[in-house]
Amino acid sequence: MTGPGRAIREIHSLEDLAERGTFLCRIHPLAKVLVTIWYLILVMSFGKYDIEGLWGMSIYPVILMILGDISAGEAIRRMRPILLMVCLVGLANPLFDRELLGTFGGMKITSGMLSMVTLFFKTVFAVAAAYILMATTTMEQICYALRKLHVPQILVTVLLLIYRYLVMMLKEADRIMQAYRLRAPGERGIRKDAWGPLAGQMLLRSMDRAQAVYESMTLRGFRGEFFLRGRFVPPRRSAFYGIGWAAILAVFRFLPVFRIVGSVFIS
């Protein structure tokens, strides 16, 4: 996880992206959430050696990133921590799975190498899909879509509340860290004596704030219901977007489209 300051910047940049009002941003959130889930299921359903089939799924992030003006560099930057973990798991594959598949430019290609690369690409595609969803959909819209999917109200409300107070809490954590660094320059982390009082004070203040928040919410008529005002494209277009992508992705999953195109060049 990143530091508080960086996390705040990331949240703001995602919010700015999602509120641009482009065509993709105005698609109904339910269609985008369902397409993302469908895409993830299809990507993860590929076998560990099926790099060729998996390659076909790159079509979704490539098209949406270009049409939605979404930075691929930013998406890749966000992948670094998770890629590290996946690479650690995947690195074992070439060591333990040494079945020779062939040679390429003098280099021996083993099935372990293929499965490692497949794992790597699966991660890249999954993170890119989640990033595209967040760069075109606000958290309020995602919560709205979850309610449409009959996710219990209590869970959606908690999710929305966490998100709403997240920036406030992150700013507080950032201030605490900054004040501590100024008082104790060069020290790595917060020393043992201050663990309890420092985080404990923050926690107590949070609970008091929760009380005040609840009172102001009830005074303003909060009854746990969730409403959303948004300017979406007509439902028919959203449905077309969802069904269209679902069909395209299914075609790329179940038919060797890329192999057919590739066979035109290599016989």
Binding to another protein (CB under 8 A) within 121-150 occurs at 122-123, 126-127, 129-131, 133-134, 139, 142
Does position 63 interact with another protein (CB under 8 A)? The reply is: yes
CA atoms within 13 A on the CB side of 56: 24
Sites for another protein among residues 99-118 (CB under 8 A) = 101-104, 109, 112, 114-115
Q: Interacting stretch for another protein, rule CB under 8 A, among 24-32, 65-73, 227-235, 239-247?
A: 65-73
Does position 93 interact with another protein (CB under 8 A)? The reply is: yes
Does position 233 interact with another protein (CB under 8 A)? The reply is: no
Closest CA to 79 of 122, 43, 50, 36: 122
Contact 29, 235 (CB under 8 A): no
Does position 4 interact with another protein (CB under 8 A)? The reply is: yes
Q: What angle, rounded to 10 degrees, do the helices at 153-183 and 139-148 form?
A: 150
Does position 240 interact with another protein (CB under 8 A)? The reply is: no
Does position 227 interact with another protein (CB under 8 A)? The reply is: no
Closest CA to 60 of 77, 79, 42: 42
Given 49, 144, 241, 245, the residue binding another protein (CB under 8 A): 49
Smallest gap, in angstroms, from Cβ of residue 201 to another protein?
A: 8
Contact 238, 43 (CB under 8 A): no
Q: Phi then psi for 109, rounded to 5 degrees?
A: -105, 120
Sites for another protein among residues 149-208 (CB under 8 A) = 152, 154-155, 157-166, 168-170, 172-173, 176-177, 187-192, 195-204, 206-207
Helix (H, G, I), strand (E, B) or coil at 230: coil
**155 Cβ contact list (under 8 Å, min separation 6):** 146
Given 148, 213, 237, 240, the residue binding another protein (CB under 8 A): 213
User: Which two structure tokens, joined as six digits, stand for 3?
Assistant: 């530091």
How many whole angstroms separate alpha carbon 221 and alpha carbon 147? 20
Given 89, 149, 243, 251, the residue binding another protein (CB under 8 A): 89
Does position 74 interact with another protein (CB under 8 A)? The reply is: no
Smallest gap, in angstroms, from Cβ of residue 228 to another protein?
A: 17
Q: If binding means CB under 8 A, how many residues of this protein chain bind another protein? A: 126
Does position 53 interact with another protein (CB under 8 A)? The reply is: yes
Given 29, 34, 46, 141, the residue binding another protein (CB under 8 A): 46
Does position 78 interact with another protein (CB under 8 A)? The reply is: yes
Does position 44 interact with another protein (CB under 8 A)? The reply is: yes
CA atoms within 13 A on the CB side of 144: 15
How many whole angstroms separate alpha carbon 238 and alpha carbon 31? 6
Q: 90, exposed or middle or buried, with CB in 10 Å at 0-12, 13-18, 19+?
A: buried
Does position 256 interact with another protein (CB under 8 A)? The reply is: yes
